[in-house]
Structure 1
Amino acid sequence: MAKTLPKQSQAGGTLAPWLGVALIVILVDQLTKIAITSVFRYGEGRAVTSFFNLVLVYNRGAAFSFLATAGGWQRWAFTALGIAAALVICYLLKRHAGQRMFCTALALILGGALGNVIDRLMYGHVIDFLDFHVGGWHWPAFNVADSAITIGAVLLVFDELRRVRRGR
């Protein structure tokens, strides 16, 4: 017997749970950024473990400071890109509301994208503070929003691999 989804979780279902996930990401992201900027000065860092530091840095570009020195136009380009992505994601969430992993991934990406858009609009840059290093490897500093985007992207890949495997 085929299992049917409840009406609200089928295509055209409610956005509320997914927007709730995105809102939680935004709140945690913004609260951690407020906390770090109230405790640290720009460039100041503090070792937490042998592989993790807290450090306050600003990113005027995109991932890994891509285009950080581009002259200012990138602030508005990345803000517009984040808003456009948010609109597309809302459409996809509404259309595929019954696909839990897919929508969870999109909600994480939505919250992360909007968290960084808020920074760009308020400060002209994104606040980063999580700094990991192991041996000679050192990752660029990032934030909660970036983490949510990354986890969401991994979930999207996993969801698609699962979907392909089920289709065989």
Structure 2
Amino acid sequence: MIAHIIFPAGIAFIVDQLTKWLILEHVMQPPRLIEVLPFFNLTLGFNTGVSFGLFSETLAAQPQVLIVANLLIVIGLLAWAQRTPVLTERLGIAVIAGGALGNIVDRWRQGAVTDFLDFHWAGWHWPAFNGADVFIFVGFVLMFLSCIRKTSCQVREGQV
């Protein structure tokens, strides 16, 4: 069961850190906007806040606040993953923890999270994000699917 937690969390963490390293050290030398598709760019940004840059002004001077809070969340997620008997839920929680750990390392190393994926349409840009954010989203989807499956199983068994 531990392998179902450590392996996916480790893969999420390693892929996130590897993509950020490639962007920082090779692709964005010098920093610029790279149009990949008509709706997708690579662009370098640093988020000192939480999701979508919220509270950036408040947290920029004290990245350790988010580091500690996020570490506590990751520890809680790993404990939750170890307790759940549902594999899909366990995998979802593990990749969320791995992605969160990737963003924690960024904050610790440089005081901000490296973002570089920029989707846009008709002048509207989704806030830039990174591989860790993708893993966190995929983990959420896995947990949601696990929840739907549990509910549909209960409905079939007449336990609603």
Alignment of 1:138 onto 2:94: no
Offset, 1:16? 2.2
Offset, 1:43? 5.4
How do residues 64-103 of structure 1 correspond to structure 2 at under 5 angstroms? 64-72=52-60, 74-96=62-84, 98-103=85-90
Distance 1:43 1:65, change over 3 A: farther
1:110 partner amino acid: A
Q: 2:95 matched to which residue of 1?
A: 108
2:14 alignment partner, SS class:
helix
Which aligned runs of 4 or more in structure 1 are off by greater than 3 angstroms?
A: 71-74
* Superposed CA offset, 1:62-113 (max 9, x none): 11001111153552222112111111111112112x3111011101101110
2:9 alignment partner, SS class:
helix
Distance 1:41 1:65, change over 3 A: farther
* Superposed CA offset, 1:30-85 (max 9, x none): 11111101131585211001011001110000110011111535522221121111
Q: Where do 5+ consecutive residues of structure 2 fail to align?
A: 156-160
How do residues 1-168 of structure 1 correspond to structure 2 at under 5 angstroms? 14-38=1-25, 39-41=27-29, 44-72=32-60, 74-96=62-84, 98-168=85-155
* Superposed CA offset, 1:102-156 (max 9, x none): 0111011011100000000111000000000122431010000011111111222
Q: Conserved in 1, the CA contact under 8 Å of 2:28 and 2:44?
A: yes
1:101 partner amino acid: T
1:70 alignment partner, SS class:
helix
1:164 partner amino acid: T
1:61 alignment partner, SS class:
coil
Percent identity between the aligned chains?
36
Cα distance in 2 between the residues matched to 1:120 and 1:74: 10
- Over the aligned positions, Cα root-mean-square deviation in angstroms equals 1.6
1:89 partner amino acid: L
Distance 1:49 1:151, change over 3 A: same
Q: Conserved in 1, the CA contact under 8 Å of 2:9 and 2:98?
A: yes
Number of corresponding residues: 154
